Amino acid sequence: PAPAHPAHTLVNAVLARCPEVSSVDASLRPGVVHRLDKDTSGLMVVAKNKEAHMNLAAQLKKRRVRKKYWVLVKGSPSREEGTIAAPLGRHPKDRKRMAVVPQGREAYTSYKVLKRLGKYSLIEAAPQTGRTHQIRVHFSSIGCPVAGDAVYGVRLPYLDRQFLHAFLLGFRLPTSGDYVEFRSELPPDLQQALEQVYRDSLE
């Protein structure tokens, strides 16, 4: 939730299903260990108690949580795989946006081109840091903006949100220390958009 969006949020749904999460912390997002950008789909982890929350938050801080995304960008990176290393901070003229700024916080996004589709490229992105809007700003900074992103990217006629999906999430269980990994399939709207991009690339 946020002041502008107090209801119909992930936290509201989590609290309805697991009321005990409300005691994890006093923030607007009790139990939520990390966030996804608005209009980004995919996997998140929610802690059901304070101990689990602290453990998972520590794993994130130490960069021990594995996260991967599927992202469709306009254009194509010059290399098949690599790492975008560019510091991120608030945009100097628009505080609601992020930007690559010299005095920003360090940010790293590794990537691999999965398929080139005409004017677009499907990419597997793995952020090594967790800065706000990181993937979207990083790819925009190298001239490959995220398709469908109304803030940093380019419009995609047959999609009303950015093509960004968190498909893999891996971490160690707070109780046993065992490593677990979860995967999420591409949702129908992104699958349909990808199929249309593929058809267009054949013309």
For the entire predicted model, the pTM comes to: 0.88
Residue at 118 is within a domain: yes
Question: Residue 1 has what pLDDT?
Answer: 42
Residue 43 banded pLDDT, cuts 50, 70, 90 = very high
Residue 9 has pLDDT above 50, yes or no: yes
C-alpha to C-alpha distance for 151 and 98, rounded to whole angstroms: 10
Question: Residue 5 has what pLDDT?
Answer: 46
Residue 117 has pLDDT above 90, yes or no: yes
Mean predicted lDDT score pLDDT of the chain: 89
- Nearest Cα neighbor of 11 from 31, 36, 25 is 31
Residue at 131 is within a domain: yes
Residue at 11 is within a domain: no
Expressed as residue numbers, the domain containing 169 is 64-201
pLDDT tens figures, 61-82: 999 999 999 999 999 999 999 9
Mean pLDDT of the 44-54 span: 86
Residue at 21 is within a domain: no
Which listed residue (25, 37, 39, 189) is catalytic? Answer: 37
pLDDT tens figures, 82-111: 999 999 999 988 888 999 999 999 999 999
Number of domains comprising the chain: 1
Residue 120 has pLDDT above 80, yes or no: yes
- In this structure, what CATH number is given to the domain that contains residue 118? 3.30.2350.10
15 vs 122, higher pLDDT? 122
Q: Catalytic annotation on 37? A: yes
